[in-house]
């Protein structure tokens, strides 16, 4: 351990940088923190937020480390759990802002499937896909995310897994799915609306 680290009151299990953030060896202290707790934090992010890519998990961990340098107080508890808490909250923030970073339309609607037959039939198909895109765009955020996940998977996604990914409850997934189906049927199927 470097001499810029001091031990916490928990028997020396956590190392904290002395004089954060002005210590000249902050990088060494953060490296030690990552060596001790980085695996646990990365594993937590992988299990709890399976929808995040490896690159996104890395970004979340870096953000958490930057917050750690500003917010950590050794008198309030051990460093490892605090880093885990910061990473967890950064991942939630990332997921909440994720739809703003990604295009609004779903990838499965980007290309219109080729339709054999006369040009009128292809035109009808393109118009129908555009109508579906528009209808999905009118759903609430949660309804849209559930519908898009279901379509991408080729059927109803497991509600428990989807609830974990979207940071909500299974009940909310079921309710959003039911509302979305009802709205889409009413908007897209003429006989269902009357």
- pLDDT tens digits, 109-121: 555 455 566 777 7
Domain definitions of the chain by residue range:
5-101, 107-188
Block means of pLDDT (10 residues each) for the chain, 194 residues, are 35 43 65 88 88 83 87 88 91 73 47 62 78 85 87 81 87 90 83 51
Question: pTM of the prediction?
Answer: 0.43
The C-alpha atoms of residue 84 and residue 76 are separated, in whole angstroms, by 15
- When the candidates are 3.30.450, 3.30.160, 1.10.287, 1.10.10, the CATH number that belongs to 107-188 is 1.10.10
Task: Dump the DSSP string for 40-89.
Answer: HHHHHHHHH-TTS-HHHHHHHHHHHHHHHHHH--GGGS-HHHHHHHHHHH
Q: Are 117 and 125 in contact (CB under 8 A)?
A: no
């Amino acid at each position: 351990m470097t001499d810029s680290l001091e031990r916490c009151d928990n028997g020396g299990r956590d190392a904290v940088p002395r004089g954060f953030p002005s210590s000249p060896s902050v990088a060494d202290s953060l490296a030690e923190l990552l060596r001790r707790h980085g695996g646990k934090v990365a594993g937590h992010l992988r299990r709890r937020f399976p929808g995040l890519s490896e690159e996104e998990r890395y970004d979340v961990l870096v953000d958490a480390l930057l917050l750690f340098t500003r917010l950590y107080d050794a008198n309030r508890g051990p460093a490892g759990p605090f880093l885990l808490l910061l990473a967890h909250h950064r991942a939630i923030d990332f997921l909440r802002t994720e739809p703003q970073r990604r295009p609004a339309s779903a990838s499965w609607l980007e290309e219109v499937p080729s339709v054999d037959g006369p040009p009128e039939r292809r035109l009808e198909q393109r118009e129908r896909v555009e109508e579906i895109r528009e209808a999905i765009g009118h759903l609430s955020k949660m309804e849209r995310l559930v519908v898009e996940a279901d379509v991408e998977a080729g059927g109803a996604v497991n509600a428990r897994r989807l609830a974990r990914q979207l940071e909500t409850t299974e009940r909310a997934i079921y309710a959003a799915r039911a509302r979305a189906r009802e709205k889409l049927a009413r908007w897209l199927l003429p006989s269902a609306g009357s």
